Chain A
Amino acid sequence: MQRNRLVPYSFLLPYLAVFVLFWAWPILYSFYLSFLDTRGFPWSLQPGVNWGRILSDPFFRQALRNTLLILLVQVPIMLTLATGLAVGLNSPLLKLRGFYRFAFFAPVVVGAVAYSAVFRLLFNTQNGAVNVALTGLGLPRVDWLNAPVPALVLIILTVTWRWTGYNAIIILAGLQNVPGELYEAAKIDGANPWQQFWGITLPLLRPILLFALVLSVIGTLQLFTEPFLITGGGPGNATLTLGVYLYQQGFRSFNFGYASAIGYAIALLAVLFSLIQLRLFGRDA
């Protein structure tokens, strides 16, 4: 049958045109921008100016430290919780399944701006619901929005609330691909539920957990809306993340070159973490 050889390209072209213009080219242009001095006009090629600054910039270092701190605390807590939830929701013994699904998956549809607003009220220092509950339990109030460590904890709690159910959905989908006969066989061999979890569930879930891990790490490296709207990066710079710092440099100071360098630093971190994760957990994944 005679077919026009250009037909496949015509199907691909509309998407590819937008892709090249708004993703492929920007990736390259951003790299070039990171070598430009964009503080004055015209922009000039000054290879060392942004990358040199990044190495010695205390604000960048603080943003990096905050982002990594959130990452290293939040992602393990969230994925452990999500795995537990997924296993629980997958259990045939569970009653009220519909209620639990709704409770944990509902945050998936809530936008960052809406829940940031809600969390700001809940964690209000004076009479926010959380502090009212704490005093009710005889504990001291916490100045969530104006003290450095509590502000960081607040961001971690907010992100965990929003994304745990999302990850649980992904892990649950993986669990449903695990053949039931494996558990039957293990039961005959006398394995208890805990042994079944470590011996069957976890090893078979490894590829999907790795997927969730990589996504979560990339997402956390780009944390922006929550610290931007809940704490404004403060108090001081206690919740300044790389995302918020990039926004400040790029769109408050309009220093596109330096902001691009920060963007590439985020990408380098993403690559680095992905490699580490593949190395540690990948093997056959």
Chain B
Amino acid sequence: MTPLALLWLAPLWLMLVFSTVPEREIFSVPVPLIPGDHFLENFRDLQADTNFLRTLWNSVAVSGIYTLLSLLLTSMAGYAFARFRFFGRGAVFTLVIATLTIPYFVVVIPQYILVAREFGLTNSYVGVVLPLLASSLGIFFMRQNFLSLPQSLLDAARVDGAGEYRIFFQIALPLVSSAMAALGIILFLTAWNDYLWPLLILTQRDMYTAPVALGTLLGLTRVSWGGIMVGAVLMTVPFLVLFLFLQRFFVAGITAGAVKD
């Protein structure tokens, strides 16, 4: 298993190495295996080509806004499905979950027509975030977690005269906070790495997210490969470090919906 594991790590290690050596060394024989001292020069190339810091900021903003809004919407809806009985509950829930198996490519054209042409939201954070919020990824997961709360707890609050929103925000939500953390990490990562939708909606270079900026460089003929590797490292390494410390949450988020307890 060890050779396979090393093979699996090799692309990430070489990404790191390539970001720190001069361009010509990337294509030299033998392939460099130890980091060099050219990271800052490569970063300067990247920054000159794309204003990469700005695109990183756009990515942080888009992913952050999306994660917070999506957590709010999916937890409210998940709570409704888990904790209230109302007309249409079963049918709506089935419909929402069924869309998990519908390919994104079926909806991307109408989404584009709606957001770009009807609403005129190109080059805006709103335009990037809005359609992503419709994803049903988190609904099932949040519903499962709210289902596991003891009814007596919620009833006690009701007897004390707390309103439904107060019960939700002050009692139910804090009790599922670790599930929300798991979901939040996955939502953030999904938005952070999203490529096609921001590519369609963002046309001004200063509004690009980091993947779009990097993707644009890949399409050009005269590029600084060292710079591109710096971009890949900046997009990836923070999450690798987080992954080392917060593995539990990543794994919980990925298996959300996969395993029924």
Chain A residues packing against B (C-beta within 8 Å): 1, 3-5, 7-9, 11-12, 14-16, 18-19, 21-27, 29-30, 33, 88, 96, 99-122, 124, 126-129, 132, 161, 165-166, 169-170, 173-174, 177, 208, 211-212, 214, 218, 221-222, 224-225, 229, 232, 242-243, 246-247, 250-251, 256, 259-260, 262-264, 266-267, 270, 274
**Residues B26 and A121 in contact, CB atoms below 8 Å apart:** yes
Q: A113-B195, A113-B214 are in contact. Are A15 and B107 (CB under 8 A)?
A: no
24 contacts between A and B (CB under 8 A): A4-B164, A8-B89, A14-B77, A15-B74, A22-B111, A24-B99, A99-B5, A100-B5, A103-B6, A105-B251, A106-B8, A106-B12, A108-B250, A114-B231, A117-B232, A118-B11, A119-B11, A127-B27, A129-B31, A170-B254, A222-B105, A224-B196, A229-B218, A262-B105
Q: Which residues of B contact A33 (CB under 8 A)?
A: 109-110
A-B interface, 3 closest residue pairs, ranked by CB to CB distance from nearest: A111-B193, A26-B110, A8-B84
CB of B139 within 8 Å of the partner chain: yes
**Residues A247 and B232 in contact, CB atoms below 8 Å apart:** no
**Residues B92 and A12 in contact, CB atoms below 8 Å apart:** yes
Q: Which residues of A contact B243 (CB under 8 A)?
A: 102, 105-106, 108-109
Shortest C-beta distance, A251 to chain B (Å), equals 6
Contact of A11 among B28, B158, B168 (CB under 8 A): B168
Q: What residue in chain A is nearest B28 (Cβ atoms)?
A: A127
Q: Mark B197-221, 1 if CB is under 8 A from A, else 0.
A: 0001000000000010011001100
Contact of A12 among B10, B77, B250 (CB under 8 A): B77
Shortest C-beta distance, A281 to chain B (Å), equals 16
**Residues A26 and B195 in contact, CB atoms below 8 Å apart:** no
Shortest C-beta distance, B16 to chain A (Å), equals 10
Q: Report the bound CA distance from A127 to B27 in whole Å.
A: 5
Chain B contact residues, majority secondary structure: helix
Find the residue from A111, A246, A264 having the highest chain B CB count within 10 A: A111
Q: What residue in chain B is nearest A246 (Cβ atoms)?
A: B105
Shortest C-beta distance, A61 to chain B (Å), equals 18
Find the residue from A110, A122, A243, A251 having the highest chain B CB count within 10 A: A110
Chain B residues packing against A (C-beta within 8 Å): 1-2, 5-6, 8-12, 14-15, 18, 26-31, 72-74, 76-77, 79-81, 84-86, 89, 92, 95-96, 99, 101-114, 130-131, 133-134, 136, 139, 158, 164, 168, 189, 192-193, 195-196, 200, 211, 214-215, 218-219, 225, 228-229, 231-232, 235-236, 239-240, 242-244, 247, 250-251, 254-255, 258-259, 261
Q: What residue in chain A is nearest B238 (Cβ atoms)?
A: A109
Q: Report the bound CA distance from A4 to B133 in whole Å.
A: 27
**Residues A221 and B101 in contact, CB atoms below 8 Å apart:** no
Q: Report the bound CA distance from A242 to B108 in whole Å.
A: 14
**Residues B14 and A225 in contact, CB atoms below 8 Å apart:** no
Contact of B254 among A26, A104, A114, A169 (CB under 8 A): A169
Q: Report the bound CA distance from A106 to B101 in whole Å.
A: 26
Q: Report the bound CA distance from A108 to B255 in whole Å.
A: 12
**Residues A18 and B251 in contact, CB atoms below 8 Å apart:** no
Q: Which residues of A contact B73 (CB under 8 A)?
A: 14-15, 18
Q: What residue in chain A is nearest B258 (Cβ atoms)?
A: A170
Contact of B86 among A5, A128, A173, A274 (CB under 8 A): A5
**Residues B102 and A101 in contact, CB atoms below 8 Å apart:** no
Q: Which residues of A contact B85 (CB under 8 A)?
A: 8
Q: Report the bound CA distance from A274 to B100 in whole Å.
A: 13
Find the residue from B89, B104, B131, B240 having the highest chain A CB count within 10 A: B104
Contact of A101 among B18, B113, B114, B247 (CB under 8 A): B247
Q: Which residues of B contact A107 (CB under 8 A)?
A: 8, 11-12
Q: Which residues of A contact B218 (CB under 8 A)?
A: 113, 116-117, 120, 229
Q: Report the bound CA distance from A232 to B133 in whole Å.
A: 30
Q: Which residues of A contact B239 (CB under 8 A)?
A: 109-110
Q: What residue in chain A is nearest B80 (Cβ atoms)?
A: A11
**Residues B229 and A21 in contact, CB atoms below 8 Å apart:** no
Q: Report the bound CA distance from A250 to B111 in whole Å.
A: 12
Q: Which residues of B contact A15 (CB under 8 A)?
A: 73-74, 76-77, 133, 139
Q: Report the bound CA distance from A189 to B85 in whole Å.
A: 50
